[in-house]
Amino acid sequence: MKPYRVLFLCNANSARSLMGEALLNHIEGERIVAFSAGVEPDRPHELTLEALHHLGIGTEGLASEPLERYAGEYFDSVIVLCEKAQQSCREWPGQAGEVVFWDIPDPRLSEDPNAYRKTLREIRGRLQLWVDAKLRKLG
């Protein structure tokens, strides 16, 4: 059985979408394979990498990718993590079985020193529920 493919999208692909990719690959790396991209890709933020390391999640190979990198590809699910990406995704040339919108605040805009860890916890909580529901459907 081929793995279920998920693409996480956000604006810069430096925090939220990278967290989603790393978390999902850590949790379900064989049955579900995750990727991420950004509307205006930057680089992985050091606090993103630090938050992932704090949870024992590997970051090797994480890179900020442009949305166009996945043009023409099919994903079973696309999870959009910010409003700006949601608007840009309407013109995305890829294909998806479903598009899910989770408007998660950008930790880069927060002055809270724990913003990245809080964002990671929020994404992890949503992913755990989402994965449980998906795996029940997939069998």
Q: What is the pLDDT of residue 114?
A: 96
Q: Give the residue ranges of the chain where pLDDT is below 70.
A: 85, 88-93, 139
Q: What is the pLDDT of residue 31?
A: 87
pTM to 2 decimal places = 0.93
Structurally, at CATH architecture level, domain 4-138 sits in 3-Layer(aba) Sandwich (3.40)
Q: What is the pLDDT of residue 92?
A: 65
Q: Can you tell me whether residue 35 is helix, strand or coil?
A: strand
**CB-based contacts of 23: which residues, under 8 Å, 6+ apart?**
34, 52, 57, 120, 123, 124, 127
Q: Where are the domains of the chain?
A: 4-138
Q: What is the pLDDT of residue 138?
A: 73
Q: What is the pLDDT of residue 122?
A: 96
**Beta strands 4-10 and 32-38, pairing class:** parallel
Q: What is the pLDDT of residue 1?
A: 74
**CB-based contacts of 97: which residues, under 8 Å, 6+ apart?**
74, 75, 76, 77
Provide the mean pLDDT of the chain.
90
